[in-house]
Structure 1
Amino acid sequence: MAVRGWRPAAAAIAAARPGGGGPGAAPGAAPASGPAPEAGAGAAAPATAALYVHWPYCRKRCSYCNFNKYVVPAVDEAAVRACLVREARTLLRLSQVQSVTSVFFGGGTPSLASPGTIAAVLEAVAGVAHLPAGTEVTLEANPSSASTPRLAGFRAAGVNRLSVGVQSLDDAELRLLGREHTAAEARGAVEVARGLFPGRTSIDLIFGLPGQSRGAWARGLEAALGLCDDHVSLYQLTLERGTALAAQVWGGALPTPPQDLLADMYQTARTMLVAAGFRHYEVSNFARKGALSTHNLSYWRAEQYIGVGPGAHGRFVPRGEGGHSREARVQTLEPDNWMREVQSQGHGTRRRVVLSPLEQLEELLALGLRTDEGVTRKRWGCFSPQLSLEAVFGAPGEAKALQEQGWLILDSGGLRCTMKGLALLDSLLPDLLCQLQRCWAPPAMPEEGSCARLQHPEEEPIGGSGAGGEAVGRSGLAGAVSRNIQSQNR
Structure 2
Amino acid sequence: MAFLGARARCSAAAAAKVAQRRRLAEDARGPPSPPGSQRAALYVHWPYCEKRCSYCNFNKYIPRGVDEAAVRRCLVTEAQTLLRLSGVRRVESVFFGGGTPSLASPHTVAAVLEAVAQATHLPADSEVTLEANPTSAPGSRLAAFRAAGVNRLSIGLQSLDDTELQLLGRTHSASDALQTLAEARRLFPGCVSVDLMLGLPAQQVGPWLGQLRELLRRCDDHVSLYQLSLERGTALFTQVQQGTLPAPDPELAAEMYQEGRAVLREAGFRQYEVSNFARNGALSTHNWTYWQCGQYLGVGPGAHGRFVPQGAGSHTREARIQTLEPDNWMKEVMLFGHGTRKRVPLGELELTGCEEWEKHKSPLQDRSLDFLSVWRKFWPWGCALTWGSLTRGLRCSWEGLAVLDSLLLDLLSQLQDTWRQRTPSPVPGG
What band does the TM-score fall into relative to the shorter chain?
A: 0.7 to 0.9
Report whether the alignment pairs 1:433 with 2:404.
Answer: no
Q: CA deviation at 1:434?
A: 2.3
Report whether the alignment pairs 1:317 with 2:317.
Answer: no
Q: Tell me the secondary structure at the aligned position of residue 82 of structure 1.
A: helix
Aligned pairs for 1:44-443 (under 5 A) are 45-361=36-352, 364=353, 382-388=356-362, 390-392=364-366, 394-398=367-371, 402=375, 405=379, 406-412=383-389, 413=391, 414-442=393-421
Distance 2:165 2:146 in 1: 27
Q: Tell me the secondary structure at the aligned position of residue 222 of structure 1.
A: helix
Are the equivalent residues in 2 in contact too, given 1:174–1:182 (CA < 8 A)?
yes
Distance 2:225 2:130 in 1: 18
CA-based RMSD of the aligned residues comes to 1.8
Q: CA deviation at 1:342?
A: 0.5
Letter in 2 for 1:172: T
Q: Tell me the secondary structure at the aligned position of residue 163 of structure 1.
A: strand
Greater share of residues in helix = 2
Are the equivalent residues in 2 in contact too, given 1:399–1:431 (CA < 8 A)?
no
Letter in 2 for 1:193: A
Q: Tell me the secondary structure at the aligned position of residue 190 of structure 2.
A: coil
Q: Tell me the secondary structure at the aligned position of residue 224 of structure 1.
A: helix
Are the equivalent residues in 2 in contact too, given 1:398–1:431 (CA < 8 A)?
no
CA gap of 1:396–1:120, structure 2 versus 1, over 3 A, is closer
Matched residue count: 384
Are the equivalent residues in 2 in contact too, given 1:136–1:294 (CA < 8 A)?
yes
Letter in 1 for 2:339: G
Letter in 1 for 2:137: A
Which residue of 2 is the match for residue 14 of structure 1? Answer: none
Letter in 2 for 1:410: W
Q: CA deviation at 1:358?
A: 2.5
Distance 1:255 1:387 in 2: 46
| 1:222-270 CA distance string (max 9 Å, x none) | 1111110310000000000000011111211111122211111001100
Distance 1:50 1:72 in 2: 28
Q: CA deviation at 1:129?
A: 0.2
Letter in 1 for 2:255: D
Are the equivalent residues in 1 in contact too, given 2:47–2:326 (CA < 8 A)?
yes
| 1:194-218 CA distance string (max 9 Å, x none) | 0111000000110111011001110
State TM-score, norm by structure 1.
0.76
Distance 1:74 1:221 in 2: 39
Distance 1:177 1:249 in 2: 13
Are the equivalent residues in 1 in contact too, given 2:223–2:277 (CA < 8 A)?
yes
Query: Higher relative contact order at CA 8 Å, sep ≥6: structure 1 or structure 2?
Result: 1
Distance 1:111 1:443 in 2: 50
Are the equivalent residues in 1 in contact too, given 2:199–2:250 (CA < 8 A)?
no
Q: CA deviation at 1:152?
A: 0.3
Q: CA deviation at 1:395?
A: 2.5
| 1:347-371 CA distance string (max 9 Å, x none) | 101111211222323xx4xxxxxxx
Letter in 2 for 1:425: L
Q: Tell me the secondary structure at the aligned position of residue 441 of structure 1.
A: helix
Distance 2:394 2:98 in 1: 33
CA gap of 1:329–1:399, structure 2 versus 1, over 3 A, is farther
What is the percent sequence identity of the aligned residues?
62
| 1:137-190 CA distance string (max 9 Å, x none) | 000000001111100000000000000000001100000000000111100111
Are the equivalent residues in 1 in contact too, given 2:201–2:249 (CA < 8 A)?
no
Q: Tell me the secondary structure at the aligned position of residue 85 of structure 1.
A: helix
Q: CA deviation at 1:288?
A: 1.1
Distance 1:166 1:185 in 2: 9
Are the equivalent residues in 1 in contact too, given 2:152–2:192 (CA < 8 A)?
yes
Q: Tell me the secondary structure at the aligned position of residue 272 of structure 2.
A: strand
Distance 1:295 1:349 in 2: 22
Give unmatched runs, 5+ long, in structure 1.
Answer: 1-43, 365-378, 446-490
Q: Tell me the secondary structure at the aligned position of residue 198 of structure 1.
A: coil
More displaced stretch, 131-140 vs 258-267: 258-267
Give unmatched runs, 5+ long, in structure 2.
Answer: 1-34, 425-430
Aligned pairs for 1:449-460 (under 5 A) are none
| 1:388-436 CA distance string (max 9 Å, x none) | 36524x3351257528944312122221211121111233223211221
More displaced stretch, 306-315 vs 413-422: 413-422
Are the equivalent residues in 1 in contact too, given 2:185–2:220 (CA < 8 A)?
no
